Structure formats: structure tokens, C-alpha cells
Amino acid sequence: MTLLDQPAGSPASVWPPDAHGPRRDPAPLLPDPEPLRILGTPAADKLDPELLRDLYRRLVLGRRYNQQATTLTKQGRLAVYPASTGQEACQVAAAAVLREDDWLFPSYRDTLAVVARGVRPVEALTLLRGNAHHGWDPKAHRTAPLSTPLATQAPHAVGLAHAARLRGDDIVALTTVGDGGTSEGDFHEALNFAGVLNAPVVFLVQNNGYAISVPLSKQSAAPTLAHKAVGYGIPGRLVDGNDAAAVYTVLAEAVAHARSGRGPVLVEAVTYRLEAHTNADDATRYRTPDEVEAWQQRDPLAVLERHLRDHDLIDDAGIAAAAQAAEELAAEMRAEFHAEPQLDPMSLFTHVYAEPTPQLREQADLLAAELAAEADAR
């Protein structure tokens, strides 16, 4: 007989008191069996109509932003672009629930969330343009640099949130991670630290079904990714990532939970990446047109617009105004990316170390000499 075979209450199955720390009831931490949906349910009638219209405007801007960034990539203005088309509800809701003094820790696919935090698109896309490591002032926008290594931003979010708590600041850090990122060690370390430290941080997992070409079924056997929270003593929430109202509601509750001192929350938003992983990816090699078409029927923008129209919460003028604002954003992006950037090669050595090492100074001197010689030769 193994330990698992023994009847409940037998000596081997009784938790030794105070032997390894507290034993917690996992029930309050478990996510609901199905992702939370609000649009199309009676709960939608309780939401502020202006909130829904605001989310709609943000989605329209987000969709046009993705379209324009993709076009810029085809024109050679961007080196690479990982579109968040189909995931815009997660992106705009993540930005909308944060206070101005809260912090966002994004991954490389989350430039829309960065723009929604007030960063200019040309700055948000600097890394993906290939001009510099980073394009905006993190402190001014309370938004960390894009993270291209998977999930490495998650421990940073925990560290900042814990430091803020020690200082008595009631700010919250929200970090976005893809489903592939949940398989990385940094993700697990971040959850463990967050749970132990009771850090005011929210983990938003955008489960779009694929880690590049690897389907979720081949990287996780968990019932849901939200269930992973339980092992770290953290509540897990499961939400329909294509329902903007539901994502906003769940994230707002998670942020309030963290801000109140009750600790971290892991939210899994079930969504779908309608475009390829990046412009360098051929998604037809690992998913079918029928699968994509089925998810297009659940397009977050179309779902919200249909709800607003069906409930007479928006008219043609409101839709036209949102579209006009989106076109103005696209025009701004085209104008800014048409201009050639003014780059300083010496900036490569800035912010590498607080005190440059001898090797770094030597490399900087070498580059400075090469640039001077090049200038003299002109």
C-alpha cells in the first residue's frame, strides 16, 4: 500500500502539526471551472455603460495599432513585430485597471499595453525597430522595458512590488506573461516569492493557445494555467480573454485584492492569437484555417461592438468617432516611422553598469576612436 492508498485519517496521512509550516485550505485559491464571461450574461447590465464604451474605444485603437505596426514591418520600418491581434482585450484592460503610479511589467508582445499606458508608439516599438534596447523612460511611465526572454520580467515585478510594500507605498505591479512563459523557471520563482512575501503583484497570463508553434497541450498537463497559482498559496482566476468587460472586472478585482494587502493573484485569460507569432512565422504549419475562423467569431472587438449595438449603448456616430481616433493614431505612427531616427552609437554603453568596468571603458574608447576616424575621412 502506498501513501496515496491509505485511508484518510491514518497516521501516515495526518499532517504533522507545525512540522513544515501551515497547511492551507486550497478551496478559496482554486479558479472557477469555466472562464468568467460577462458580455451576453445578465451581469453585463450591471456595468457602467461609459466603461463599456471606453473599453470599445480602446479596442478600436488597439486593433488599428496592430494593423499599422504589421504594415510598418512589411515596409521594413520594423525589424519584427509580434502582433497582439485578437488579444487586445487583455492588453487594454491591463492598462485600464492600473493607477498612474502603479507599474506594468510587459513582455515583448505587450506593446499595445505599453502604448495604453501613455507611451508613444514610436517609443514603444523602439526595440522591435532594432534601433536601441529601449525607447521610453520607465520611471516616468511606470512601465518596465519590454522583456524578450520569457517571464524574466515576472521576478522583477515581484521585487518592485515587495520593495514598495516595505516602503509603505500602496502601489501594485502587474506583469503580463504568455502561456509559454508559464513553463519557464522565472515564472515559478516569481510566484513562489510573491506568495511567500505576500507581494502586491498581479500575474496576467494571456493563454493564446501556442508558445510559438507548441500547443498548450504539449507544455502543460495542469487543469488550467490558473491552477498553478494554488501550489504557491496564491488565488487563481480564470477569465474569457476575449470578453473585455470580464477581463477588466477580474483584473480590477485582482488589483484591489493586491493593493489591500491580501497578496498576489494569478489571472489566466483564455484568448487567441489571430495573427502569426511574428512576421517571421508561418502559422499555417501548425494550425488550421478552421481553427482560426472559429476564434475570429469570438473577436473581442466584434463581441463588444455587438453588445453595445444590441443594447443601444453606442450609435453610428460613436463608432465613427472611435474609428477616426484610430486613423489619427495610425497616421501618427506612419509619420514618426517615416523619419529616420537620430542614433548615438555611444549610447550602447549607457546604463550597462552603474560604474563602467575597465573592459566596458576600453570598448567605449575603441568605438569613439573609430567614429572619430570615420568622421575625419568624410
pLDDT of the residue at 86 = 98
- Lowest average pLDDT, out of 5-9, 63-67, 81-85, 271-275, goes to 5-9
Which of 286, 287, 298, 334 is catalytic? The answer is 286
Helix (H, G, I), strand (E, B) or coil at 205: strand
Q: What percent of the chain has pLDDT over 90?
A: 86
Neighbours of 215 (CB within 10 A): 13
231 — pLDDT class (breaks 50, 70, 90): very high
The secondary structure of 157-169, three-state, reads: HHHHHHHHHHHCC
Determine if the pTM surpasses 0.75: yes
Which of 57, 58, 129, 273 is catalytic? The answer is 273
pLDDT of the residue at 11 = 42
pLDDT at 307 over 50: yes
User: How many whole angstroms separate alpha carbon 59 and alpha carbon 323?
Assistant: 10
pLDDT of the residue at 65 = 98
6 — pLDDT class (breaks 50, 70, 90): very low
Residue 120 CB burial class (10 angstroms; 0-12, 13-18, ≥19): middle
Which of 129, 227, 277, 307 is catalytic? The answer is 277
Its sign, for the CA torsion 294, 296, 299, 303, is negative
350 — pLDDT class (breaks 50, 70, 90): confident
Instruction: Give tens-digit pLDDT for 235-267.
Output: 999 999 999 999 999 999 999 999 999 999 999
pLDDT at 161 over 80: yes
- Residues 300/237, Cβ–Cβ less than 8 Å: no
Q: Determine whether 286 is an active site residue.
A: yes
Helix (H, G, I), strand (E, B) or coil at 154: helix
Instruction: Give tens-digit pLDDT for 201-222.
Output: 999 999 999 999 999 999 999 9
pLDDT of the residue at 8 = 40
Q: What is the mean pLDDT of the chain?
A: 93
pLDDT at 137 over 60: yes
User: How many whole angstroms separate alpha carbon 212 and alpha carbon 148?
Assistant: 13
10 — pLDDT class (breaks 50, 70, 90): very low
User: How many whole angstroms separate alpha carbon 162 and alpha carbon 171?
Assistant: 10
Instruction: Give tens-digit pLDDT for 67-117.
Output: 999 999 999 999 999 999 999 999 999 999 999 999 999 999 999 999 999
Mean pLDDT of 321-333: 98
pLDDT of the residue at 339 = 85
Q: Measured between alpha carbons, how far is residue 365 from residues 285, 293, 351 in Å?
A: 48, 56, 16
Question: Where do the DSSP E strands lie in the chain?
Answer: 103-105, 173-178, 201-207, 210-211, 214-215, 236-240, 265-270
pLDDT at 318 over 90: yes
